[in-house]
Amino acid sequence: MNKLLLGVFGAIFAVGAMSAHASPEQDRQNLIQHFKKEYPKIKFDDYIYGALAFDKDSMDQYESIMEFPPFDSVVEQGRKMWETPFKNGQTYASCLPNGGKNIAGNYPMFDDKLGKVVTFEMAINDCRVKNGEQPYSQSDMKTMGVLTAYARTLSDGMLMNVKVESPAAQQAYEAGKHMFYKRSGQLNFACATCHINNAGKHLRSEVLSPILGQATHWPVFRGGENLVTLQNRYVGCQKMVRAVPHKEGSTEYNDLEYFHSYISNGLPLKASVFRK
Ligand code: HEC
């Protein structure tokens, strides 16, 4: 694996410097400019397709699979979970803002009272706990995964709209950004090595997706049937470079998701989608 990866890249790439004190908006604009220069033909909105935007055959395959998604029954199961009232008669819709519609793009959000990042999954769990139910484990694809496969469809088309407004929020954003750019693992890769510096290029048989748009379409169904949430994908990518992954739902991953999602601001959400 080590040899394979290094063989593909030939050498360890230098990770492009991002100014440590740039504002989140400057970071986002810099990345948009970076990809515009690198790939002038790709339209901004097409970044939601990730690696597919770089390969017409894969895009055609994606479109035909998405006509009759093999994972429809799982999303339907999620709808039933969403609509089933808690023991006290309340529902997710009565507990979340705006009945749970067009809100997923506001997450992760920084809660100044709690002093931490709150993900959409945490908001759902908060709702469960307030209504006397047990929280779901964020890494449990059968509960939280299936539920969010439906709950996020209620925000389809909403533009990602993550805000970083207080000094504490800025700190969480910086922690997430640091993690994205920090090399780790036995192979000594940063997320940025693959998803910025080498985005659009091949790693073995796969095209590497750019950071822009990566947070907009979760969960995904890999191979059409295997449900993978965003933080579950973080685990997969960390294992790929032989780093010890963090726990799903950990502060580290929540901060990473906060930064990562901010960079997708302005792009439309879509749940759930097929991925290879
Ligand atoms: C050695 C290269 C490599 C590194 C380092 C890496 N990834 Fe990945 N990542 C991949 C490959 C390959 C895929 C599958 C193809 C694709 O969609 O990019 C992928 C997919 C993803 C996806 C899914 C994209 C989609 O549209 O489905 C996300 C999100 C992601 N990576 C985030 C991260 C994060 C965050 C890190 C750092 C913790 C990271 N990756 C580190 C190689 C890497």
Task: Tell how far the Cα of 239 is from the centroid of ligand 1, in angstroms.
Answer: 11
CA–CA–CA angle 9, 12, 16 (5° rounding): 105
CA-nearest of 148, 170, 163, 162 to 249 is 148
203 touches ligand 1 (CB under 6 Å): yes
Per-residue pLDDT of the chain (276 residues; tens, 9 = 90+): 444 454 444 444 445 445 556 899 999 999 999 999 999 999 999 999 999 999 999 999 999 999 999 999 999 999 999 999 999 999 999 999 999 999 999 999 999 999 999 999 999 999 999 999 999 999 999 999 999 999 999 999 999 999 999 999 999 999 999 999 999 999 999 999 999 999 999 999 999 999 999 999 999 999 988 999 999 999 999 999 999 999 999 999 999 999 999 999 999 999 999 999
Q: Is the CB of 216 under 6 A from ligand 1?
A: no
How far apart (Å, rounded) are the C-alpha atoms in residues 104 and 95? Answer: 14
For tokens 């994972």, name the residue: 71
For residues 228 and 219, what is the distance between their CA atoms, to the nearest angstrom? 5
Domain count along the chain: 2
Tell me, in angstroms, the distance from the centre of ligand 1 to residue 48's CA. 14
- Structure tokens given for 90: 């309340």
Distance from Cα 83 to the centre of ligand 1, integer Å: 33
Q: Is 52 in the pocket of ligand 1 (CB under 6 A)?
A: no
Residue 142 and residue 269 in one domain? no
Q: Whose CA is closest to atom 32 on ligand 1?
A: 234
From the CA atom positions of the chain, what is the Rg in Å? 18
Q: How far is Cα of residue 155 from the mean position of the Cα atoms in its chain?
A: 15
This prediction has a pTM of: 0.94
Ligand 1 midpoint to CA 214 (Å): 9
* Residue found by looking up tokens 């922690």 in the block: 175
**Whole-number pLDDT of residue 2:** 45
Mutate to test the pocket of ligand 1, among 12, 177, 209 (most ligand atoms within 8 A of CB): 209
Pair (262, 133) in one structural domain: no
Give residue 21's pLDDT.
67
The SS3 call for residue 109 is strand
CATH number of the domain within which 51 lies: 1.10.760.10
Among 120, 155, 190, give the residue marking a domain's end: 155
Atom 14 of ligand 1, residue of closest alpha carbon:
208
- Please tell me whether residues 113 and 239 are part of one structural domain: no
55 and 173 housed in the same domain? yes
Range of the domain at 58: 2-11+20-69+163-275
Cβ–ligand 1 contact at 177 (below 6 Å): no
Residue 46 DSSP symbol: G
Distance CA 274, CA 260 (A): 20
Judgement on whether residues 221 and 245 belong to the same structural domain of the protein: yes
Same domain, 95 and 215: no
CB of 206 closer than 6 angstroms to any ligand 1 atom: yes
What's the Cα-to-Cα distance from 207 to each of 178, 196, 199, 228, rounded to whole Å? 24, 12, 7, 18
**Distance, CA of 200 to CA of 212 (rounded, Å):** 12
Answer positive or negative: Cα dihedral of 92, 94, 95, 96. positive
Q: What is the pLDDT of residue 22?
A: 84
Residue 3: how many CB atoms within 10 A of its CB?
7
Residue whose CA lies nearest to ligand 1 atom number 9: 237
Q: Domain check: are 81 and 92 in the same one?
A: yes
- Name the residue at shortest CA distance from atom 15 of ligand 1: 208
| Coil, strand or helix at 163 | coil
For strand 202-203 and strand 116-118, is the pairing parallel, antiparallel, or unpaired? unpaired
pLDDT 10s digits, 63-84:
999 999 999 999 999 999 999 9
Same domain, 266 and 188: yes
Nearest ligand 1 atom, CA 203: 12
* 220 Cβ closer than 6 Å to some ligand 1 atom: yes
Q: Is the CB of 261 under 6 A from ligand 1?
A: no
- Which of 126, 155, 184 is the last residue in one of the domains? 155
Please give the number of the atom of ligand 1 that sits closest to the Cα of 5.
1
